[in-house]
């Protein structure tokens, strides 16, 4: 069979060529390639900030008036010990912002009236700390780590650059669970804390749906680049679940600088309670025959209350006055005025333009230091 031998020889040569070139043949299957591991931007951002995040554990003695009266019964002391020796433990989070000096930024309520502070670093080291200063008005405090070395400080971002919808990542130790990372977005900016029922605070908060739970207080809120843009402070549970709030880092940076030197943060104030007023809202009010007060039909900050003895009271401001400018800068809503006051110097006069009835008044008012700030 002369025609079969050349065909058989040709097939043998082709098979040898397939094997020698390493091409897939009929008898062997190609090894599947393992795809490279893919990590999200969240992992990269958390990895950037995590070395600066700390857990803060605190202790303080319980005051007798805060104890159950039954514990003061001498017959129960054998069971529960001396009530005066009972200790209350607390826990929160913080972030290193000055590695050389071992300074940590946290919330004032985390270290309020505590007698002992222990800081757990990201690498597991546990070191004692001291409260350098606290400002209850902004709910910020600075803790110095004793003997801290090889610390890593977080990169601080720009909270003014945030936009609603930006990614937000919360880091901290909720419920004592260290190195916890949660993801959300910036839900709102410039949230008025008075609407949340905290009248003793003066904050312009960042709202986020990143999960912030007890123990997250004082930890950082970071952006997608791993920069700190806020300090976690509040969470609303129950019907408002999913609402978390953070102090803008631009505000926190300034407060921390004052607290770090052992200084007291001075907050200028005028002594006014203000509500926003728009021209449309004023017109609607003025058309109402039962309206108690005729309002100026302009945008501005409407005086709702004047605190007795305050700079506003001494200047002669009244309920129903509409503030429309301060130092020639327009005031379209209360936040415009409050921001200018916060950056003003105590005792330095500010020029107000006020609409009262049909008259335009020009008043000079000097901010005083907020009485309970110190």
159 included as an active-site residue:
no
Tell whether 3 is covered by a domain.
Answer: no
Within this chain, do residues 234 and 318 fall inside the same structural domain, yes or no?
no
Best CA proximity match to 102, nearest among 49, 149, 50: 149
Give the max Cα distance, the chain: 124
Asked whether residue 185 falls in the same domain as residue 243, the answer is yes
Tell me the β-bridge partners of 277: 300
Query: Quick one: CA dihedral 276, 279, 284, 290, positive or negative?
Result: positive
Mark whether 272 and 244 lie in a shared domain. no
Does residue 248 carry a pLDDT above 90?
Answer: yes
- State whether 108 and 164 are in the same domain: no
Q: Rounded mean pLDDT of 311-318?
A: 94
Please report the sign of the dihedral spanned by the C-alpha atoms of residue 151, residue 152, residue 154, residue 155.
positive
Which candidate, 237, 218, 221, places its Cα nearest to that of 229? 221
Q: Examine residue 273 and state whether it is found in any structural domain, yes or no.
A: yes
- In terms of domains, do 334 and 273 share one? yes
Q: Is the pLDDT of residue 240 over 70?
A: no
Q: CATH number of the domain that 240 lies in?
A: 2.40.10.10
Q: Quick one: pLDDT at residue 20?
A: 47
SS3 of 219-244: CEEECCCCCEEEEEEEEECHHHCCEE
Annotated active-site residue in 139, 209, 321, 336: 139
What percent of the chain shows pLDDT beyond 70?
78
Domain hosting residue 63, numbered range: 51-76+83-145
Return d(Cα 108, Cα 146) in angstroms, integer. 19
Tell whether 256 is covered by a domain.
no
Mean pLDDT, rounded, for 131-143: 94
Task: Confirm if 174 and 215 have CB atoms less than 8 A apart.
Answer: yes
Structurally, the chain folds into a number of domains equal to: 3
79: Cα within 13 Å, side-chain hemisphere? 7
User: In sequence order, what E strands does the chain have?
Assistant: 53-61, 87-98, 103-106, 116-120, 126-135, 140-145, 167-172, 180-192, 204-208, 220-222, 228-236, 243-248, 268-269, 272-277, 300-306, 322-326, 329-330, 350-356, 359-365, 368-369
Is 124 within the bounds of a domain? yes
Provide the token pair at 131: 């409260």
Residue 269 has a pLDDT of: 87
Please check whether residues 103 and 135 belong to one and the same domain.
yes
Asked, for residue 94, whether it belongs to a domain, the answer is yes
Whole-angstrom distance, CA of residue 101 vs CA of residue 144: 7
Quick one: pLDDT at residue 174? 85
More confident of the two residues 360 and 239: 360
pLDDT tens sequence across 3-48: 555 555 555 555 555 444 454 544 455 566 666 666 789 999 999 9
Terminal CA-CA length for the chain: 111
Going by C-alpha positions, the residue among 117, 88, 338 that lies closest to residue 218 is: 117
Catalytic entry in 93, 217, 310, 325 = 217
- Which of 217, 250, 283 represents a domain boundary (last residue)? 250
Per-residue pLDDT at 291 exceeds 50: yes
Which pLDDT does position 26 carry in this prediction? Answer: 47
Per-residue pLDDT at 318: 93
Question: Quick check: is 13 in a domain?
Answer: no
Q: Where residue 344 sits, what CATH number does that domain have?
A: 2.30.42.10
Using CA atoms, how far apart are residues 244 and 86, in angstroms rounded to an integer? 32
9 domain-assigned: no
pLDDT of residue 215: 86
The structure tokens listed for 324 are 């429309």
Residue partners of 257: CB distance under 8 A and separation at least 6: none
175 and 223 part of one domain? yes
Q: Is 149 a catalytic residue?
A: no
- With contact defined as beta carbons under 8 Å apart, do 113 and 101 qualify? no
Q: Tell me how crowded residue 310 is: count the other CB atoms within 10 A of its CB.
A: 18
Of residues 240 and 205, the one with the higher pLDDT is 205
Residue-level pLDDT at 198: 44
How much is the pLDDT for 107? 96
Which of 98, 117, 145 is at the close of a domain?
A: 145
Tokens at residue 305, please? 């209350």
* Candidate from 185-189, 237-241, 362-366 with smallest mean pLDDT: 237-241
SS3 152: coil
Residue partners of 121: CB distance under 8 A and separation at least 6: 54, 127, 145, 148, 151
The reply to whether 94 and 174 lie within a common domain is no
Listed residues 250, 285, 310: the one ending a domain? 250
Average pLDDT, the chain: 84
Query: How far apart, in whole angstroms, are the C-alpha atoms of residue 191 and residue 330?
Result: 20
Question: What percent of the chain shows pLDDT beyond 90?
Answer: 56
Condensed to tens digits (0 to 9), the pLDDT of residues 321-364 reads 999 999 999 999 888 888 888 888 999 999 999 999 889 999 99
Question: 283-289, long-range: CB within 8 Å, 24+ apart, which pairs?
Answer: none
CA distance 271 to 317: 10
pLDDT band, very low/low/confident/very high, at 105 (cuts 50, 70, 90): very high
In terms of domains, do 334 and 275 share one? yes
Token pair of 371 as six digits: 């009485």
Residue 322 is predicted with a pLDDT of 95
**188 and 131 within one domain:** no
Are 209 and 284 members of one domain?
no
Decide if 10 is inside a domain.
Answer: no
Pair (339, 364) in one structural domain: yes
Q: Is 135 a catalytic residue?
A: no
pLDDT for 276 beyond 60:
yes
Select the more confidently predicted residue: 136 or 8: 136
pLDDT above 80 for 59: yes
């Amino acid at each position: 069979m002369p025609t079969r031998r050349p065909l058989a020889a040709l097939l043998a040569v082709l098979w040898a060529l397939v094997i020698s070139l390493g091409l897939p043949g009929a008898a062997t299957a190609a090894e599947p390639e393992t795809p490279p591991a893919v990590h999200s931007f969240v992992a990269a951002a958390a990895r950037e900030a995590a070395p600066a995040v700390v857990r803060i554990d605190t202790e303080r003695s319980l005051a007798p008036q805060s104890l159950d009266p039954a514990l003061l019964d001498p017959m129960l002391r054998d069971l529960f010990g001396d009530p005066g020796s009972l200790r209350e433990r607390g826990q929160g989070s913080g972030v290193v912002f000055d590695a050389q000096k071992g300074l940590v930024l946290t919330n004032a309520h985390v270290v309020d009236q505590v007698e002992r502070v222990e800081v757990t670093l990201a690498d597991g080291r546990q070191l004692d700390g001291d409260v350098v200063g606290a400002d209850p008005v902004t709910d910020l405090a600075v803790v110095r780590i004793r003997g801290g070395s090889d610390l890593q400080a977080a990169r601080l971002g720009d909270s003014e650059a945030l936009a609603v919808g930006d990614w937000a990542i919360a880091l901290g130790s909720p419920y004592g669970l260290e190195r916890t990372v949660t993801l959300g977005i910036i839900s709102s900016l410039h949230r008025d804390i008075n609407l949340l029922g905290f009248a003793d605070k003066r904050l312009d908060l960042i709202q986020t749906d990143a999960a912030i739970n007890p123990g997250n207080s004082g930890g950082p809120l970071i952006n997608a680049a791993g920069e700190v843009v806020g300090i976690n402070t509040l969470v609303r549970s129950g019907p408002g679940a999913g609402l978390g709030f953070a102090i803008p880092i631009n505000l926190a940076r300034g407060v921390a600088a004052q607290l770090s030197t052992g200084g007291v943060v001075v907050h200028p104030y005028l002594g006014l309670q203000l509500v926003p007023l728009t021209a449309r809202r004023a017109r609607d009010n003025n058309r109402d025959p039962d309206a108690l007060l005729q309002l100026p039909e302009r945008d501005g900050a409407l005086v709702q209350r004047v605190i007795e003895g305050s700079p506003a009271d001494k200047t002669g401001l009244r309920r129903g006055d509409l503030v429309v400018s301060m130092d020639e800068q327009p005031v379209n809503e209360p936040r415009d005025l409050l921001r200018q006051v916060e950056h003003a110097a105590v005792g330095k006069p500010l020029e107000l333009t006020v609409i009262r009835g049909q008259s335009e008044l020009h008043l000079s008012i000097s901010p005083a230091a907020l009485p309970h700030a110190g």
